Amino acid sequence: MVLRSAWERVPFPVEVRFTAADDIWLSHGYGRDSAYIAIHQYIGAPFEDYFRRFEAAMTALGGRPHWGKMNFLDASALAPAYPRFDDFRAVRDKLDPDRVFANEYTDRVLGA
């Protein structure tokens, strides 16, 4: 992540954890051991610039954003990060063709 200065404050603890690979299609740990780095911000505090810069840095490193949490990506940006993304979408098309379980957010991150 490119910081504005060497002393830029990170206002909230950064969560780091490690997990083994799994076989869950839309898991960010699918098929690979992972290091998770999660950033947060206090409610009401400015977050967009911080989150966008972090997202860009992690994407450049091959990170898989948690599609179920706040991000600025859409399905076309998320699909390359998840090897079974299209397989998931095909199952969703079969099981929920009328998108009963969809909303504006899932339309953006999973496609309509």
Q: Tokens 């299209």 sit at which residue?
A: 86
- CATH architecture assignment, domain 15-110: 2-Layer Sandwich (3.30)
Domain ranges, ordered by start, for the chain: 15-110
The pTM assigned to this predicted structure is 0.81
What letter does residue 80 receive in the DSSP assignment? G
What letter does residue 13 receive in the DSSP assignment? P
Which of 37, 29, 27, 31 has its CA nearest to residue 57? 37
pLDDT in tens, the chain (112 residues): 555 554 567 778 899 999 999 999 999 899 999 999 999 988 888 888 889 989 999 989 989 988 888 889 999 999 999 999 999 999 999 999 999 999 999 999 999 8
